[in-house]
Structure 1
Amino acid sequence: MTISRKLFIAAVVAGMGSAAMAQEQVIKIGHIGPVSGPQAHFGKDNENGVRMAIEDLNAKGMEIGGKKVKFQLVAEDDAADPKQGTAASQKLCDDKVAGAATFLNSGVAIPSSKVFHDCGIPMITGAATNPELTKPGWNTTYRVIANDNALGAALADYVAKVAKLKTVAVVDDRTAYGQGLASVFKKEAEKQGVKVVASEFTNDKATDFMAILTSIKAKKPDAIFYGGMYGQAGPMLRQMAQLGMNEAKLLGGDGICVPELAKVAAGAKPLENVVCADGGASLGKMPGGSEWKKRYDAKFPGQFQVYSPYFYDATMLLADAMKRANSWDPKVYIPFLQKADYAGVTSRIQFEANGEMKNPSYTLSQFINGTKTPMDLK
């Protein structure tokens, strides 16, 4: 074979390769979360869930609309700040993501949901739990975890019916998440005859709770409910110990219900009395939880917190809707997302008309020897 013929064949093969590359359609999936700052443990874990789903989707070699597709993660940091979050949301719109599995914080998710609505891109959260998020009923907003109405009511039920406590104090961090959850808990607890002896508030950057706790201690509540995150609950537990409040329970939602709480509490005795609520089943009771967790730990050793399996499912839901619609165009696949019936790692996922999950579950947990452990209350 002549050199010129060899060059010709090589050129043809290269051209075929280029044509094949040109046929591959890149579909961008967005994630926004606090990957810097005190809540970065959560944000990185959530982003890992999206990243793992995208790797699994690409390994399958999906085709949509007659084209081989490659999913690509577009990740932004919101630092748990609403302004930064809305700016990041607009950036994802400008980047023309096809959908987003996104948001840890309700205070970021609520204003950002309007940005996504206005640009017609669906967002699914696996962590933001304030019920206000879905109140507008937009077809671009979805949640794959129980909201604060379910979590607050579950904790109130525990206080009144299981622990049979008579009095509680309520503290919140004034965020959309913390204040919303505390409000639901307070309302449901009072409905069941539990007396709220104090209502206090702090902020989501605070570390000194001595004045609040001293005031609460004088009223001798059986428990303190804290609406906020583990970064504040940890110091609060240490200061409860300093004040000799070792018998009072500390109750809270998913924001404190993380393994990291034990580290931040630094061995404080009141950690033994924490009871917290997560949206969803415990990993061992999720349809695919245990096997998924093994794969996650192999990819991201020591990074698991709480929500990554929900963000994994959120990403898979977007891809599933695109596949069924045979399109990655949001206008085309959103109706298919609304009618989802997806067997996920976390649960079987279907949506109500407003984007809330049908039949969401929850788990109450405690800390035994410093390890977060699901409670069996059946």
Structure 2
Amino acid sequence: MKTGLFCVCKFLVVLPIFFTMQTPALADDLIEIGFVAGLTGGSAQIGKDEENGARLAVEEINKQGLLIGGEKVVLAFDAQDDAADPRTATQVAQKLVDDKVVAVIGHQTSGTSIPASKIYSDAGIVQISPGATNPAYTKQCFKTTYRVVATDAQQGPALANYAKQQGVKTVAIVDDATAYGQGLASDFENRAKAIGIKVLSHDATNDKAVDFRAILTKIKGENPDAIMYGGMDATGGPLAKQAGQLGLRARVLAGDGVCSDGLSTLAGAATDNVVCSEAGMALEKMPGGDAFEAKYEARFHQPIQVYAPFSYDAVYIIVDAMKRANSTAPAKILAEMPSTDYKGVTGETTFDSKGDLKHGAISLYGFKNGKRTLLDVIRM
């Protein structure tokens, strides 16, 4: 039975018109779209990438012109920083509710998306995460909760299956004790054991750690074929680098939090010893990937990190729901979300009853001279 009742608020957003380079000067309705990610801290580069993707969509929609219910609508982009901190995430979520946003793109991580989701559920505001992969995020059965990426229940086993195919017989696991890192590591461990990979140890660190030598020295004595790390690139990069410095022969396996184009800055030459996954289709395999990449780089003068295409599509999915509802009221937008069938940059998006993708994909990458190279795409 589905649980997670929420309050539905019906209201008309009437706010003063303000001027920006991207927003037309005159409009009948100014409608706020919320966005949240860690824009400061260790994973800021990934958070900023997601912000850029969503911002690009808002700018495009405003430039094209948007009519809802026969009225001209201009989108305002309310971007907030939760610093990838769960407590800050709930404070920011409440601020966006108080700001009367009609929907939220975010949060960036599972550890922030999960606690914030209760606040959006209580307010009846749609939340679409472009990066939260822990299955617990949608298992709460909130009717407001969606994501546009695959889950760790798919990503962890995909990494384990790849390891098995590559002849890995023994593995040591390390996670950063966050909802994301711990969940990914556990899903990897369960699958690894099921397919005959021996798990030698499972250690926990934290998402602020910079020195992994004690854990790695212990792991060196275990002599595993691979080290699986559940965490973000800000910690996964130094872990891989220090493993190389200590002379470990093990390959490093990691998830989407580590799988950024900026990993080489953090891991140095050890980057080429990393295999990582993304909980979505590879950019070069996306139907609109090439065109989006060109637009993104022209607008922001930097390469895409990981999930900009997903936050971009998330904005368009919200606007698609507005058009189908013929309304910008949060309750009307929410009512249209289950019937979403949107074809965007990342492909076709349809949701199951929990708000997960019906047809997700996992992309596996290696690195060559510090540059990501696609190894395989696994359709779920």
The one-letter amino acid of 1:302's match is Q
Indicate whether 1:66 and 2:70 are aligned.
yes
Deviates more, 1:275-284 or 1:329-338: 329-338
Distance of 2:27 and 2:372 partners within structure 1: 48
Deviates more, 1:344-353 or 1:58-67: 58-67
- Which structure would you say has the larger Rg? 1
Distance of 1:202 and 1:21 partners within structure 2: 50
Which residue of structure 2 lines up, in the alignment, with residue 191 of structure 1? 194
Which residue of structure 2 lines up, in the alignment, with residue 322 of structure 1? 322
- SS in structure 1 opposite 2:222? coil
- TM-fit CA distance, 1:301: 1.2
- SS in structure 1 opposite 2:269? coil
- TM-fit CA distance, 1:303: 5.0
5 Å matches for 1:35-74?
35-74=39-78
- SS in structure 2 opposite 1:137? coil
- SS in structure 1 opposite 2:173? strand
Out of 124, 127, 130, the residue aligned to residue 126 of structure 1 is 130
Q: How many residues align?
A: 355
Distance of 2:355 and 2:377 partners within structure 1: 29
The one-letter amino acid of 1:46's match is E
For the 8 Å contact 1:85–1:112, the answer to whether it is kept is: yes
Indicate whether 1:99 and 2:103 are aligned.
yes
Structure 1 residue runs without a partner (length 5+): 1-19
Which residue of structure 1 lines up, in the alignment, with residue 20 of structure 2? none
Distance of 1:314 and 1:110 partners within structure 2: 18
Which residue of structure 2 lines up, in the alignment, with residue 337 of structure 1? 337
Deviates more, 1:58-67 or 1:111-120: 58-67
Which residue of structure 2 lines up, in the alignment, with residue 15 of structure 1? none
5 Å matches for 1:204-283?
204-245=207-248, 247-268=249-270, 271-283=271-283
- SS in structure 2 opposite 1:100? strand
The one-letter amino acid of 1:200's match is D
- TM-fit CA distance, 1:333: 2.0
Distance of 2:333 and 2:107 partners within structure 1: 21
The one-letter amino acid of 2:202's match is S
For the 8 Å contact 1:41–1:303, the answer to whether it is kept is: no
- TM-fit CA distance, 1:36: 1.1
Distance of 2:135 and 2:126 partners within structure 1: 18
Which residue of structure 2 lines up, in the alignment, with residue 287 of structure 1? 287
Distance of 1:56 and 1:316 partners within structure 2: 10
The one-letter amino acid of 1:80's match is A
Which residue of structure 2 lines up, in the alignment, with residue 363 of structure 1? 363
Which residue of structure 2 lines up, in the alignment, with residue 372 of structure 1? 372
Distance of 1:38 and 1:22 partners within structure 2: 39
Deviates more, 1:329-338 or 1:116-125: 329-338
- SS in structure 1 opposite 2:87? helix
TM-score w.r.t. length of structure 1: 0.92
Residues 116-154 of structure 1, C-alpha deviations (whole Å, 9 max, x = no match): 001110010010111000012111000000010110010
Which residue of structure 1 lines up, in the alignment, with residue 118 of structure 2? 114
Structure 2 residue runs without a partner (length 5+): 1-23
Distance of 1:342 and 1:22 partners within structure 2: 29
**Cα distance change, pair 108–352 in 1 and its aligned pair in 2 (3 A):** same
- TM-fit CA distance, 1:66: 1.5
For the 8 Å contact 1:222–1:248, the answer to whether it is kept is: yes
Distance of 1:178 and 1:234 partners within structure 2: 14
Residues 175-228 of structure 1, C-alpha deviations (whole Å, 9 max, x = no match): 000000000000000000000011111000001111100111111100000000
Which residue of structure 1 lines up, in the alignment, with residue 5 of structure 2? none
Indicate whether 1:87 and 2:91 are aligned.
yes
The one-letter amino acid of 2:222's match is K
TM-score w.r.t. length of structure 2: 0.91
- TM-fit CA distance, 1:236: 1.0
- TM-fit CA distance, 1:21: 7.6
- TM-fit CA distance, 1:376: 3.9
For the 8 Å contact 2:282–2:377, the answer to whether it is kept is: no
Which residue of structure 2 lines up, in the alignment, with residue 4 of structure 1? none
The one-letter amino acid of 2:214's match is A
Residues 305-341 of structure 1, C-alpha deviations (whole Å, 9 max, x = no match): 1011100000100000001110011211212111100
- SS in structure 2 opposite 1:218? helix
For the 8 Å contact 1:37–1:79, the answer to whether it is kept is: yes
Distance of 1:279 and 1:107 partners within structure 2: 16
For the 8 Å contact 2:126–2:333, the answer to whether it is kept is: no
For the 8 Å contact 1:227–1:252, the answer to whether it is kept is: yes
